[in-house]
C-alpha cells in the first residue's frame, strides 16, 4: 500500500519480501554456523535486495540471531517435539514471527501469523504451515493477549 493508506506509508510488499529474505538468511545461518554479519554480507551479495525493505530485513535477521536463545525458550512450550527436531525452515519462520510478536508491537499479530503461514507455504514442507500456525496462535494468545482477545470477539 502507498503512503497515507492503512499501512501508514509502509511498503507492505517490500516488507513481505524482507521477511522472505530474512528466512533465507536465517536458514543459511542455522545450517552454516557462521557469524550473522558474515551471513548477511554473503546473502546481500548473492540476492537482489533492492526489492525488499532492507531496514526491516536487517532488524529481523540481527534481532533473531541476537535473541535466539530467548525466542527458542519462548517457543518451546508450544511445540510437540524438541526444538532441535523442528524442520529448519519452520524453525526459522517461528523465530522470525516470535521476534516480531515480541519486538514489533506496531505489526498486528494477525499480520505476523499470516506472513509466517504464507512464507512457510512457499518454502516449507507440504503441511508445515499448519504446524507453524498452531504454534504461533498459542504464542500470540500469550504475548499479545489483549490484541488476541479483541480479535476473537
CA distances from 123 to 61, 67, 70, 108 (A): 17, 23, 24, 23
Note down the domain range covering 47.
Answer: 12-152
Helices and strands, number each (H, E), in the chain? 8, 0
- For residues 7 and 19, the model is more confident at 19
Tell me: pLDDT of 153 over 90. no
Domain assignment present for residue 106? The answer is yes
Global pTM? 0.89
Domain count of the fold of the chain: 1
Domain assignment present for residue 2? The answer is no
Domain assignment present for residue 6? The answer is no
Tell me: pLDDT of 151 over 70. no
Domain assignment present for residue 5? The answer is no
Whole-number Å distance between alpha carbons of 126 and 134? 15
Q: What is the grid cell recorded at 72?
A: 527458542
Domain assignment present for residue 107? The answer is yes
What pLDDT is attached to residue 83?
Answer: 95
Assign residue 114 the CATH number of its domain: 1.10.940.10
pLDDT in tens, 33-55: 889 999 888 877 777 777 889 89
Amino acid at each position: 500500500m502507498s503512503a497515507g493508506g492503512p499501512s501508514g506509508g509502509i511498503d507492505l510488499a517490500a516488507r513481505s519480501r524482507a521477511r522472505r529474505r530474512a528466512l533465507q538468511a536465517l536458514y543459511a545461518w542455522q545450517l552454516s554456523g557462521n557469524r550473522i554479519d558474515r551471513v548477511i554480507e554473503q546473502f546481500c551479495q548473492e540476492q537482489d535486495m533492492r526489492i525488499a525493505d532492507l531496514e526491516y530485513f536487517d532488524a529481523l535477521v540481527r534481532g533473531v540471531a541476537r535473541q535466539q536463545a530467548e525466542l527458542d525458550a519462548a517457543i518451546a512450550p508450544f511445540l510437540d517435539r524438541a526444538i532441535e527436531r523442528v524442520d529448519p525452515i519452520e524453525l526459522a519462520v517461528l523465530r522470525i514471527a516470535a521476534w516480531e510478536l515480541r519486538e514489533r508491537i506496531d505489526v498486528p499479530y494477525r499480520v505476523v501469523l499470516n506472513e509466517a503461514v504464507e512464507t512457510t507455504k512457499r518454502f516449507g514442507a507440504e503441511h508445515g504451515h499448519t504446524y507453524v500456525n498452531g504454534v504461533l496462535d498459542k504464542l500470540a494468545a500469550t504475548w499479545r493477549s489483549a490484541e488476541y482477545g479483541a480479535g476473537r470477539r
